[in-house]
Structure 1
Amino acid sequence: MAEAGTGKPWKVGVLFSYTGVTSVIEQSQRNGALLAISEINAAGGVDGRMIEPVVYDPKSVVSEYGRLAERLIVEDKANVIFGCYMSSARKEVLPVIERRNALFFYPTLYEGFEYSPNVIYGGATPNQNSVPLARYLMENYGDRFFFVGSDYIYPRESNRVMRNVVRQGGGDVIGERYVSLDASEDDFAEIIAEIKAAEPDVIFSTVVGQGTVNFYRAFHQAGCDSSRIPIGSLTTNEAEIAEMGVDAAVGHITAAPYFRNIESEANTAFLTRYKEMFGSITHVTSCCEATYFQVHLFARALAKTRSVDTDALREALLGSVFDAPQGQVKIDPDNSHTYLQSRIGKVDERGEYVVEQEVKRSIKPDPYLVNPGLDDWSLRLHRPKRSLQR
């Protein structure tokens, strides 16, 4: 592996799909990583050496993530990897990372209930997104939920968590359906008919990738009214809004640490540089932003260790802080997850998320959801001032 004083670049793996069913989101994650690397290299690299990304496309095929992670570590000598969107992909990479004692940065919201000393988790855990979303939906729309998800680990586990949160708050789940990752608009017809018959107050969607676009379009085409029965989601983002179109997206709701139109100096600078590098900010997402700040946190740790040794990097990373576009983030030394902001956004008539509620400071991650604390979270809410649009 490359060490201090050799003059060789620091190699890192970048393992996000830019083809296949999850490419609509994973391309934005790859771009976030490449933008951060370009910024670090433009400033002279780390210890005078450039960071060299080794980029592979797993093509949204779950088994490919594990195979390519092995290749990155063994053949490319990249001991640090940034990658994955789906939990099933993360589960493929995890044993490879642990067996080789490499370091894996996972920048995606997930279902929680996991810990590995070889992983730095940068996405929201259930207490940072599921709990606030449930609270908001129940206060503003009602307590009868219908779950729709893609058929793999994350949606099923996320729905298990959300079901417990909803019931703790006095609500009920009156329907639950799953679709394949490559579900078309037609595949949602039967589910939407069930939704109409059940008349829930809200839909909780854990559909991902292209399926999200197809679900929202089918929901709109079926004449469903988002002002009466909105789709609440943890996974729907700006990239998918751009794909599905404003008519299908307006009025629907997402909980996330970051939305593209947050007004802050850090976010303005981030979006400016992103546009300069990629030509547009249309596909900037919360997962893109998480990948971006994780690369910067890694570079700061590397500057201290001057080595990509996993144990040394982990020690330098735990407790580290970064002023990210979303606000200040911190890697929790207790569990290797990240203190994150928490926001509720609703899509307006221009296809932009308007932040309806947010917390005033980052929330400590609780990956095992020891105490959902619905009432405690509500006390920390405030409705932000409406910002001027760019």
Structure 2
Amino acid sequence: MNTSAVHRVGLLFSHESLTAATEITQENATLMAIDEVNVAGGINGVPLAPVSAPVGAQPLDYRKAAEWLCDTQRVPLIFGTHMSSTRKAVLPVVENRRALLFYATLYEGFEYSPYCFYAGSVPNQNSVQLASYVIRHFGNRVLFIGGQYVYPRESNRIMRGLYEQAGGVVVDEVYLPLNAPQEDLTGVLKRAVALRPDAIYSTMVGRDIVKLYRAYRELGLDPARMPIVSLATNETDVAALTAEEAEGHITAAPYFATLPTEASRRFARAYQHRFGEDSPITAGAEAAYFQVHLLADAARRAGSLAVLELVAALKGAQFEAPQGPVTIDSDTQHTSLWPRIARINARRQFEIIYAARAAVSPVPYLVDHALDPEALALS
């Protein structure tokens, strides 16, 4: 391999943000995948060289870091950002420079950029399945609790449509500032006691997730009757909770570290061998991992990291990911994924209780809300 020349690629994950714990898993998985690509010969003999940008906690910090990566480091592409507010802060930078952003986090959909590839779930790959399952098993009265930014409001808009389609009722919709004090979470859950919904749909993120589940436990609420259901709660959040605080609550995602397939076990073993046996592995990390391999395969076929050739090669690209085979949709630049639902058990592990029988193609613009008959039918 020609180590005198390298392909520099940017990494944009924060160690200071509200979602830092999950972003660190995504950064780890990105670096691991880059090493695997290089061991396999890089891009036609030329290795990938990651350039990490120091980034603070706010969307403007991500924007400035992206400018540094593009203008000073001259990277043609960036892996990273996490919250929708940070992605939206960075998109104008890559679009203006005609660079590429690879985004590995679930989000609310309703977006397209020719300079972005999306490896995380959109609502038809997680919200539809979660709403269907919860309505079938718990009931159709739901309380929404979210943070004060774009993803919770847009996700709740879609979830409201799904519940109302089933004759359901949103009993209340509450938004709290990011980094909300513990007492604010307790106050919202006291409202849940009074309203008695069948489920609490949480779009809290990062450290605020931990506060919410802790407040729930302190109030003595019962997840067997009124669980917290979420798309964002993951293994890093559960690692910060006690078993009593975590057990019984439900998450939807394409990947859980407990997925019992050989591809998943191989990925988990490699990740924990490198980063520690107790290192949590998230769906965001799995997406960050497979998008590097998708990029590398496309770059080999394109012969370079030149943006126009790379975009053409990425459309329709496939990879045997830990979650199952994934494919980039040529029209939307989003990815087909494998919806799953899991319940947290007494060992703080996600036990998978529903799995789609095939990968679900992305529909970022979920205009027609439709419940999942397969998830509704589960007993």
- Deviation of 1:265 after TM superposition, in Å, equals 1.6
Secondary structure of the corresponding residue to residue 15 of structure 2: coil
Indicate conservation of the 8 Å contact 1:358/1:382, yes or no.
no
Secondary structure of the corresponding residue to residue 82 of structure 1: strand
Give the whole-Å Cα distance in 2 for the aligned partners of 1:91 and 1:20: 16
Secondary structure of the corresponding residue to residue 244 of structure 1: coil
Indicate conservation of the 8 Å contact 1:251/1:348, yes or no.
yes
- Deviation of 1:375 after TM superposition, in Å, equals 4.5
State the partner residue of 2:66: 69
TM-score (norm 2): 0.97
Secondary structure of the corresponding residue to residue 14 of structure 2: coil
RMSD: 1.6
- Deviation of 1:377 after TM superposition, in Å, equals 4.7
Give the whole-Å Cα distance in 2 for the aligned partners of 1:236 and 1:292: 19
- Deviation of 1:254 after TM superposition, in Å, equals 0.3
Change (3 A) 1:375 1:260: closer
- Deviation of 1:191 after TM superposition, in Å, equals 0.5
State the partner residue of 1:251: 248
Give the whole-Å Cα distance in 2 for the aligned partners of 1:334 and 1:280: 40
- Is residue 2:250 matched to residue 1:260? no
Give the whole-Å Cα distance in 1 for the aligned partners of 2:189 and 2:240: 20
How many matched pairs?
379
- Deviation of 1:245 after TM superposition, in Å, equals 2.1
- Deviation of 1:116 after TM superposition, in Å, equals 0.6
Give the whole-Å Cα distance in 1 for the aligned partners of 2:258 and 2:54: 29
Identity across the alignment (%): 44
State the partner residue of 2:269: 272
- Is residue 2:293 matched to residue 1:299? no
* Larger mean Cα displacement after TM superposition, 181-190 or 324-333: 181-190
State the partner residue of 1:36: 33
- Is residue 2:47 matched to residue 1:50? yes
Superposition pairs for residues 75-154 of structure 1, below 5 Å?
Answer: 75-154=72-151
Letter in 2 for 1:100: R
Give the whole-Å Cα distance in 2 for the aligned partners of 1:298 and 1:329: 13
Give the whole-Å Cα distance in 2 for the aligned partners of 1:5 and 1:325: 29
Give the whole-Å Cα distance in 1 for the aligned partners of 2:378 and 2:42: 40
Superposition pairs for residues 3-22 of structure 1, below 5 Å?
Answer: 7-22=4-19
Give the whole-Å Cα distance in 1 for the aligned partners of 2:169 and 2:44: 55
State the partner residue of 1:366: 363
Secondary structure of the corresponding residue to residue 338 of structure 1: coil
Q: Where in structure 1 are there 5+ consecutive unaligned residues?
A: 384-390
State the partner residue of 1:386: none
State the partner residue of 2:322: 325
Letter in 2 for 1:122: A
- Deviation of 1:16 after TM superposition, in Å, equals 0.7
Letter in 1 for 2:102: F
Q: Once the two structures are superposed, what CA deviation does each residue of 1:68-104 show, in whole Å capped at 9, x if it has no partner?
A: 1111111101111011110000000011111111111
Change (3 A) 1:342 1:186: same
Secondary structure of the corresponding residue to residue 87 of structure 2: helix
- Deviation of 1:280 after TM superposition, in Å, equals 2.5
Letter in 2 for 1:356: I
Letter in 2 for 1:57: P
1:162 to 159, 163, 179: 159
Q: Where in structure 2 are there 5+ consecutive unaligned residues?
A: none
- Is residue 2:237 matched to residue 1:240? yes
User: Moved runs in structure 1, 4+ residues, more than 6 A?
Assistant: none
Indicate conservation of the 8 Å contact 1:238/1:282, yes or no.
no
